[in-house]
């Protein structure tokens, strides 16, 4: 034992010291990996902004997909390495506000030709960015009210709706279909997605779905991915539209059937305990 009297570090076997150093390096990298992924998320969001500013809208949308992958992996990496921290959560929110707030707003502003609306177009795009920031701030304070549900549309899903709409518009243009979207309608759609982020509408989180480990499940997943990849400009738009509409649709269905969701039990905050408005 190293804490026993008479233990001499210099006499410790060289192989044991090398193993200990390699173990410390692996643990250090495991703790650093979540921050590197969050930085990748932030870098992809910033890159998307520069691409949108130069008119490369398809590549800007692709950069947001890379940001979403990094955002999906950083939390998992932090939990696997037992490296979750308040700093990591705050850094992740700042990166998300760029990648899923400002970057999609600028992408929508350019792709939807919102500049044609003048000041109104700027306000509609800014409304989306502001709602994304408010959504992330609210999530840090209160993750949600209901079991297995997000409160409001998640910001990555909102960004996915924006980028898939850009790709779908490109598909319509390439197909020669005369279905141009007026700037006013595009602006209202962007604002609506933004408002859904800060709304109290519950959205499924899908975190508790456990797929059976069987061959049929693997085959089904391969088929689903093959369908999505066959024409991502169409399939991703339909998937995104379905998810965005699912929250209000389920809310209306529960209201008509009288069913309710299971609420999470949480302890009151100090402001609520003292009766101070928050």
Q: What is the DSSP string of 159-180?
A: HHHHHHHHHHHHHHHHTT---P
Q: Report if residue 126 sits inside a domain.
A: yes
Tell me whether residue 192 is in a domain. Answer: yes
Q: Look at residue 31 and tell me if it is in a domain.
A: yes
Contact indicator for 70, 40 with CB cutoff of 8 Å: yes
Cα dihedral sign, 50-55-56-58? positive
Residue 238: domain span: 25-205+215-265
Q: What pLDDT was estimated at residue 273?
A: 34
Identify the weakest region by mean pLDDT among 17-26, 137-146, 169-178: 17-26
Evaluate whether residue 20 is within a structural domain.
no
In angstroms, how far is the first alpha carbon of the chain from the final one?
53
Non-local (6+) Cβ contacts of 234 within 8 A are 168, 171
Place of tokens 């009766």: 275
39 domain residue, yes or no: yes
CATH number at residue 91: 1.20.120.1760
| Tens digit of each residue's pLDDT (9 = 90 or more) over 24-51 | 445 555 678 888 999 999 999 999 999 9
For the chain, the domain total comes to 1
Domain assignment present for 278: no
- pLDDT higher than 80, residue 267: no
Looking at residue 27, its pLDDT comes to 57
Q: How far is CA 123 from CA 4, 50, 85, 96, 180, in A?
A: 69, 20, 35, 21, 22
Share of the chain above pLDDT 70, in %: 79
Could you tell me if 196 and 154 are in contact, meaning their C-beta atoms sit under 8 angstroms apart? no
For 157-197, the pLDDT digits (tens) are: 999 999 999 999 888 888 777 667 889 999 999 999 999 99
Kindly state whether residue 274 falls inside one of the protein's structural domains.
no
Q: Is residue 16 part of a domain?
A: no
Between the alpha carbon of residue 46 and those of residues 8, 50, 57, 100, the distances in Å are 52, 6, 14, 10
Q: Are 182 and 113 in contact (CB under 8 A)?
A: no
């Amino acid at each position: 034992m190293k804490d026993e009297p008479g233990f001499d570090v210099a006499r410790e076997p060289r192989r044991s010291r090398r193993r200990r150093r390699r173990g410390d390096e692996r643990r250090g990298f495991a703790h650093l990996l979540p921050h590197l992924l969050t930085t990748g998320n932030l870098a992809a969001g910033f890159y998307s902004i520069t691409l949108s500013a130069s008119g490369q809208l398809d590549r800007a949308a692709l950069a947001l997909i890379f940001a979403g992958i990094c955002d999906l992996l950083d939390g998992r990496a932090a939990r696997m390495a037992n490296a979750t921290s308040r700093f990591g959560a705050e850094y992740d929110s700042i990166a998300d506000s760029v990648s899923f707030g400002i970057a999609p707003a600028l992408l929508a502003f350019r792709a939807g030709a919102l500049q044609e609306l003048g000041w109104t177009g700027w306000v509609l795009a800014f409304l989306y960015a502001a709602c994304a920031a408010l959504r992330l701030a609210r999530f840090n304070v209160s993750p949600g009210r209901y079991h297995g549900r997000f409160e409001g549309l998640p910001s990555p899903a909102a960004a996915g709706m924006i980028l898939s709409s850009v790709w779908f518009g490109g598909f319509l243009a390439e197909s020669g279909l005369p279905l141009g979207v007026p700037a006013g309608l595009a602006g209202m759609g962007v604002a609506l997605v933004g408002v859904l982020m800060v709304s109290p509408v519950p959205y499924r989180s899908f975190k508790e779905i456990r797929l059976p480990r069987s061959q049929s499940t693997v085959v089904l997943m391969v088929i689903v991915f093959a369908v999505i990849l066959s024409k991502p400009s169409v399939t991703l738009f339909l998937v995104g539209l379905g998810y965005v509409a699912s929250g209000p649709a389920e809310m209306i269905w529960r209201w008509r059937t009288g069913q309710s969701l299971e609420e999470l039990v949480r302890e009151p905050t100090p402001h609520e305990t003292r009766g101070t408005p928050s």
